[in-house]
């Protein structure tokens, strides 16, 4: 799917649309994504700041999608684990800027070349419009070369 079409689809996807989450930019090579979460009355918590579930949701799929599109169809890419550390109350609209370095993609290809699973952590800060770090989200991805693309070990029986 083309990135521009995917961005439109994500912005109409009910879990994002109804929670005021929007993909504001997506590079043509899937190497950079920016996501915004607007602070609205329906997505605030009891004390009037961003609901933590929405903060995590705004970041949830993007590392996996970026790596998947950068590596191509020869690899399995799955979310394995995730954590969120709340740093300060989110009292403004917030943004997450994802940037996938080509060197990281090359490292994943090399590490998965023999067919073994690769686990790799990725991080993104959620930043308020006031510049404050609201949360740090970490996602662990599982990457593995699909069986039909693995080379056979000629030394094993």
Question: Would you put residue 33 in left (φ > 0), alpha (ψ -120 to 50) or beta?
Answer: beta
Predicted pLDDT at 152: 58
Give the whole-angstrom CA distance, residue 153 versus residue 143. Answer: 20
Q: Please check the confidence at residue 6 and state whether its pLDDT lies above 80.
A: yes
Per-residue model confidence (pLDDT) at position 150: 75
- Whether 137 and 61 have beta carbons less than 8 Å apart is answered as no
Kindly list the structural domains of the chain, giving each domain's residue range(s) and its CATH number in brackets, ordered by start. 3-147 (3.10.129.10)
pLDDT at position 157 is: 38
Encode pLDDT of 90-101 as tens digits.
Answer: 999 999 999 999
């Amino acid at each position: 799917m083309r990135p521009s079409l995917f961005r439109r689809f994500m912005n109409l996807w009910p879990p994002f649309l109804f929670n005021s989450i929007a993909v504001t930019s997506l590079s043509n090579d899937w190497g950079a994504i920016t996501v915004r979460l607007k602070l609205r009355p329906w997505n605030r918590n009891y004390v009037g700041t961003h609901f933590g579930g929405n903060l995590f949701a705004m970041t949830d799929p993007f590392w996996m999608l970026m790596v998947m599109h950068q590596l191509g169809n020869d690899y399995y890419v799955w979310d394995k684990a995730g954590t969120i550390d709340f740093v300060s109350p989110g009292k403004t609209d917030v943004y997450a800027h994802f940037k996938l370095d080509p060197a990281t993609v090359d490292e994943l290809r090399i590490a998965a070349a023999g067919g073994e699973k690769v686990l790799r952590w990725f991080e993104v800060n959620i930043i308020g419009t006031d510049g404050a770090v609201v949360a740090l989200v970490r996602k662990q991805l599982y990457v593995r070369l699909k069986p039909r693309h693995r080379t056979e070990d000629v030394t094993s029986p």
